[in-house]
């Protein structure tokens, strides 16, 4: 049975249209994976000696264990943002005689093959070899190594829970943040007892039972969680809320693009997925707090320019990068209706401009950090309106992943729109403001950097129709491909 | 009105449609029948420029469909649920389509009110989003939306499927009326031979992407079609 599932998985993987079309991007991703894997092996190999050098009076294995928790924390964060959870099309499997348990075991087992688990393996395997060569007791080292791998798998399943169940997210996220805060503000250093714990894991080989038990428990929780969701119940007996038509006729003053704007507003307010994006982009407003409060960044204005762009650009980037995808469910309608691409794009652009403006108004409290910071935010906002918006729309035009609008995080749906492909497209958006600011800042002065950043945005607005034309051409060129890709249901 | 010449569509050198020539005059009610995979939806998709022809072209009112977008203002269609916007109520959807086709609220209201019978009280004033309606009701909304804005060409793919019997009969009345009184060119595909012969003046049978029959509907047409699909010719 498992063999058959594997072949299904393989087919799904290779036959999806975005896989076939994005082969260049796939190759880049593979190169990236090799790069990070290589780094992990290298780090694993040298870490023993590095720790020995850093803390010459302590046995490296002890200092390594003391810092071990940071690796797992990092892994957890990385997973939360990057790991695509495995999905399997269960509906057709529900009525054929396969034991539910088999399907779920397969689904969970598959996650063990994730790249992130190998990252841990790559890191700890060379370290283990070094330890053995250096004559550390074999049993202890091997049990310790196995325990670490099991803990890695624990993060794997923990991440699954956090991603798929809001309850778990609201339990675990504040707990983690709270502990990190306590550590950071030196109230209570949780890393100390954890360091002791990792050391005991090494010193007493039998303690390997603890991570094994933890792994087992997490696996069972995941198992029962998925099993509970293994019904179509909630789709079949879906509660239908009564709704009222919203009157947005005041938006008619926007002329030609009003119908689209009205539609986009409804799109955002009435669907689960865009609502999530809206919430996320609100959090971006607080991004500046990380950078402006720290003295280290005060002297690195390029980073400040980057942060300032983020403060007002949250919605623009998270909504904009999925621009044609938002309309994927009814894309055929749009393509056969009396709609010029131009108006469609313009309406999305206006929406992003409005979002930047609102974010800018909301960011006025940053005045607290002084005029210089606020001027940077203003310049960043101009850059967002004039250049970033077009970059984002451009990136979106290349993105042909269909979105199910009203699907919230559920055990069998792929909810993370955040994937490495989009990271790749995001590079110029992030580096752009830094470079635009930094070069004139280095050559002339701070004000020159600000002016350059702001001017880039103004230029973008001036050449708006040129950019829109270019993006329109991409849309026109990719029309048939996009229609076909959106026709494929999102998994 | 619609002139198809040397049109073909291939997927990886697999021919799915090959029409040498097909002219549909203005005001004709035109029926397309054929088994699954015969190319009906492919033809409609080509007509709406949703897929690219491998060779040839379709001219809609002298506009080459895959070269210019000028056919859009006078053409409308309902192919499947992807022509609906799930998060709108039926009214909002009608107004949206109306705005795209240059109709104000009052125009849309006037048009839609003619179809109260057809809606059977299940579409308007429901306080439900389209995505929460049943398949049949979604189809009703989609078909009526395709009539907004006085289109000259209307394309309906399988309009009778999923509809209840009462609505099927009412839909037949609507389609006949459009073609006869208002001079609209209307293209319909269906698996239901009875409905198609009832509604269409002309019926074309597609088989593996080729036209195998082109009939002007008369009393014998239904028999002939049934014989064709049963696998034997009429004697």
Contact flag B99-A339 (C-beta cutoff 8 Å): no
For A309-337, how does the pLDDT look when each residue is reduced to its tens digit (9 = 90+)?
Answer: 888 888 888 888 888 888 988 999 988 88
Domain-terminating residue out of A236, A271, A306 = A236
- Residue A456 CB: number of other CB atoms within 10 A? 19
Of A331, A338, A484, the CB nearest to B100: A338
Q: Is residue A259 part of a domain?
A: yes
Q: Residue A343, Cα to own-chain centre: how many angstroms?
A: 30
Q: Are residues A455 and A352 in the same domain?
A: yes
Q: What is the mean pLDDT of residues A391-395?
A: 87
Query: How much is the pLDDT for A490?
Result: 43
Is the pLDDT score of A175 beyond 70? yes
Question: Model pTM?
Answer: 0.71
Torsion of CA A95, A96, A99, A102, to 10 degrees: -110
Residue A75 scores a pLDDT above 90: no
CB contact under 8 A, A338 and B52: no
A261 and A208 within one domain: no
CB within 8 Å: A483 and B51: yes
Task: Spell B91-121 as b/e; 16+ CB within 10 A means b.
Answer: bbbbbbbbbbbebeeebbeebbeebeebbee
Residue A59 banded pLDDT, cuts 50, 70, 90:
confident
Closest Cβ opposite residue A259 in set B79, B82, B99: B99
Q: Name the stretches of chain B with pLDDT < 70.
A: 232-235
Q: Would you place residue A58 in the very low, low, confident or very high pLDDT band (cuts 50, 70, 90)?
A: confident
Work out the angle at residue A264's Cα, subtended by the Cα atoms of residues A258 and A266, and round it to the nearest 5 degrees.
Answer: 105
Chain A residue with CA closest to B146: the answer is: A337
3-state SS, residue B21: strand
Q: What count of other Cβ atoms lies within 10 Å of the Cβ of residue B17?
A: 26
- Is B82's CB within 8 Å of A332's CB? yes
Verify that A231 and A257 share a domain, yes or no: no
CA atoms within 13 A on the CB side of A155: 26
Q: Does A334 contact B at CB distance below 8 Å?
A: no
Give the tokens for residue A189: 């250093």
Question: Do A257 and A227 reside in the same domain of the chain?
Answer: no
Please check whether residue A336 touches B, CB under 8 A. Answer: yes
Q: Which of A275, A333, A473 to mutate to test the interface with B (most CBs of B within 10 A)?
A: A333
Beta-carbon pairs below 8 A across chains A and B: 86
| Whole-angstrom Cα Rg for chain A | 25
pLDDT value at residue A409? 37
Alpha helices by DSSP H, A83-208: 91-94, 100-111, 115-133, 138-164, 166-184, 191-203
pLDDT score, position B42: 92
Cα–Cα dist A158/A218, whole Å: 7
At which residue do the structure tokens 């010449």 appear? B5
B132:A480 CB<8 A: no
Q: Which residues of B touch A (CB under 8 A)?
A: 48-52, 69, 72-73, 75-77, 79-80, 82-89, 91-92, 96-97, 99-102, 127-129, 131-132, 149
Residues spanned by the domain of A227:
2-236
Tell whether A241 is covered by a domain. Answer: no
pLDDT beyond 60 at A353: yes
pLDDT digit string, tens, across residues A147-161: 999 999 999 888 888
Q: What is the pLDDT of residue B78?
A: 94
| ipTM summary value | 0.89
> Is A491 domain-assigned?
no
For residue B149, the 8-state DSSP code is: T
For B67, the closest chain A residue by CA position comes to A476
**Burial (0-12, 13-18, 19+ Cβ within 10 Å), A142:** middle
Nearest CA in chain A to B142: A333
pLDDT over threshold 90, residue A135: no
Render pLDDT for B9-26 as a digit per residue (tens, 0 to 9): 998 888 999 999 999 999
Report d(CA A480, CA A436) in Å as an integer. Answer: 37
Within a domain: A57:
yes
Q: Specify whether A273 is located in the same domain as A341.
A: yes
Instruction: Give per-residue pLDDT as tens, A8-34.
Output: 777 766 665 445 545 666 676 677 778
> Residue A418 has what pLDDT?
46
CA-nearest of B126, B149, B135 to B84 is: B135
Domain identity same for A136 and A48: yes
Query: What value does the CA radius of gyration of chain B take, rounded to a whole number of Å?
Result: 18
Mean pLDDT, range A350-360, rounded to an integer = 91
- The residue out of A195, A210, A236 marking a domain boundary is A236
My answer on whether A419 and A305 are in the same domain is: yes
The overall average pLDDT reported for chain A is 80
- Looking at residue B190, what is its pLDDT? 92
Between residues A4 and A126, which one has the greater pLDDT? A126
Identify whether A409 is part of a domain: yes
Sequence-separated (6 or more) residues with CB below 8 Å from residue A68: A148, A194, A195, A198
Is A247 domain-assigned? no
- A20 φψ region: left (φ > 0), alpha (ψ -120 to 50), beta (else): alpha
The reply to whether A163 and A311 lie within a common domain is no
Task: Quickly state the pLDDT bin for A90 (edges 50, 70, 90).
Answer: low
* Count: domains in chain A: 2
Residues A262 and A390 in one domain: yes
pLDDT at A238: 43
Whether residue A323 sits in one domain with residue A187: no
A186 shares contact with chain B (CB less than 8 Å): no
Residue among B12, B52, B81, B99 with most chain A CBs within 10 A, to mutate: B99
**CB count, 10 Å around CB of A180?**
13
pLDDT of residue A196: 87
Q: A-chain residues within 8 Å CB-CB of B87?
A: 266-267, 270-271, 405-406
Q: Is A294 helix (H, G, I), strand (E, B) or coil?
A: coil
In a shared domain, residues A217 and A290: no
Domains in chain B: ranges and CATH: 2-40+53-230 (3.40.50.300)
In a domain, A243, yes or no: no
Residue B229 to chain A, least CA–CA distance (Å): 30
A285 and A213 in a single domain? The answer is: no
Answer whether residue A242 is part of any domain: no
The residue among A236, A261, A285 that closes a domain is A236
Nearest to B129 by CA among A246, A485, A89, A262: A246
State how far the Cα of A247 lies from the Cα of A242, in Å rounded to an integer: 16
Who has greater pLDDT, A380 or A288? A380
Give all strands of the β-sheet with B14-24 in edge-to-edge order.
Answer: B14-24, B2-11, B55-60, B63-64
Helix, coil or strand: residue B52? coil
SS3 label, residue B17: strand
SS3 content of chain B, % helix, strand, coil (to 5): 35, 25, 35
Average pLDDT, integer, range A435-441: 86
């Amino acid at each position: 049975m498992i063999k058959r599932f594997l072949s299904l998985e393989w087919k799904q993987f290779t036959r999806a249209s975005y896989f076939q079309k994005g082969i260049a991007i796939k190759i880049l991703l593979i190169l990236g994976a090799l790069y990070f894997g290589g780094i992990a092996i290298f780090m694993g190999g040298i870490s023993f000696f590095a720790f020995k050098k850093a803390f010459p009076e302590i046995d490296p294995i002890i200092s390594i264990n003391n810092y071990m928790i940071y690796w797992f924390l990092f892994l957890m964060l990385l997973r939360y943002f990057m790991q695509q959870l495995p999905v399997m099309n269960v509906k057709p499997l529900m009525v054929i005689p396969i034991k539910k348990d088999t399907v779920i075991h397969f689904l969970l087992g598959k996650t063990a093959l994730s790249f992130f688990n190998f990252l841990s393996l790559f890191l700890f395997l060379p370290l283990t070899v070094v330890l053995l060569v250096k004559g550390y007791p074999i049993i202890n080292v091997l049990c310790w190594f196995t325990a670490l791998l099991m803990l890695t798998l624990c993060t794997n399943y923990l991440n699954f829970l956090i991603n798929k169940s809001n309850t778990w997210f609201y339990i675990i996220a504040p707990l983690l943040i709270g502990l990190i805060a306590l550590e950071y503000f030196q109230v209570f250093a949780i890393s100390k007892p954890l360091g002791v714990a990792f050391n005991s894991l090494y010193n007493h080989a039998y303690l390997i039972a603890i991570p094994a038990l933890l792994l087992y428990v997490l696996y069972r929780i995941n198992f029962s969680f998925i099993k509970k969701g293994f019904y179509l119940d909630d789709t079949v007996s879906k509660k239908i809320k009564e709704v009222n038509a919203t009157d947005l006729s005041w938006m008619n003053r926007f002329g030609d693009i009003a119908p689209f704007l009205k539609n986009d507003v409804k799109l955002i307010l009435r669907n689960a997925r865009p609502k999530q994006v809206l919430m996320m982009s609100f959090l971006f407003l607080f991004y500046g707090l990380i950078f402006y409060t720290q003295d280290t960044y005060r002297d690195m204005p390029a980073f400040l320019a980057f942060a300032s762009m983020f403060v007002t650009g949250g919605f623009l980037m998270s909504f904009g990068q999925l621009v044609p995808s938002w309309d994927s469910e009814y894309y055929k309608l749009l393509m056969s209706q009396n709609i010029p691409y131009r108006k469609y794009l313009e309406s999305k652009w206006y929406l992003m401009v409005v979002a930047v403006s609102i974010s800018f108004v909301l960011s006025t409290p940053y005045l607290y950090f002084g005029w210089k910071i606020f001027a940077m935010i203003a310049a960043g906002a101009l850059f967002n309106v004039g250049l970033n918006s077009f970059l984002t729309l451009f990136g979106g035009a290349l993105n042909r992943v269909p979105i199910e609008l009203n699907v919230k995080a559920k055990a069998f749906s792929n909810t993370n729109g955040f994937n490495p492909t989009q990271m790749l497209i995001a590079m110029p958006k992030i580096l752009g403001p830094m470079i635009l600011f930094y070069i004139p800042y280095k050559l002339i002065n701070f004000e020159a950097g600000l002016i350059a950043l702001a001017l880039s945005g103004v230029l973008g607005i001036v050449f708006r129709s040129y950019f829109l034309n270019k993006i329109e051409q991409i849309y026109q060129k990719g029309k048939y491909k996009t229609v076909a890709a959106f026709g494929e249901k999102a998994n | 009105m619609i002139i198809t010449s040397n049109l073909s569509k291939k997927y990886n050198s697999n021919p799915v449609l090959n029409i040498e020539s097909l002219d549909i005059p203005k005001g004709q009610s035109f029926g397309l029948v054929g088994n699954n995979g015969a190319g009906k939806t492919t033809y409609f998709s080509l007509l709406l420029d949703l897929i690219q022809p491998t060779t040839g072209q379709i001219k809609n009112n002298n506009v080459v469909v895959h070269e210019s977008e000028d056919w859009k203002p006078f053409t409308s269609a309902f192919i499947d649920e992807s022509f609906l916007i799930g998060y709108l109520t039926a009214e909002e959807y009608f107004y949206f389509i109306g705005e795209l086709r240059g109709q104000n609220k009052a125009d849309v209201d006037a048009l839609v009110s003619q179809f109260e019978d057809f809606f059977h009280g299940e579409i308007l004033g429901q306080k439900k989003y389209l995505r929460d309606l049943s398949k049949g009701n979604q189809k009703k909304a989609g078909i009526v939306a395709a009539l907004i804005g006085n289109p000259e060409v209307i394309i309906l793919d399988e309009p009778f499927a999923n509809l209840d019997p009462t609505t099927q009969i009412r839909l037949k009345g609507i389609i006949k009326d459009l073609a006869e009184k208002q001079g609209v060119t209307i293209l319909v595909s269906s698996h239901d031979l009875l409905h198609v012969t009832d509604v269409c003046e002309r019926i074309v049978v597609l088989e593996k992407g080729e036209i195998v029959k082109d009939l002007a509907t008369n009393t014998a047409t239904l028999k002939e079609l049934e014989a064709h699909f049963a696998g034997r010719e009429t004697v």
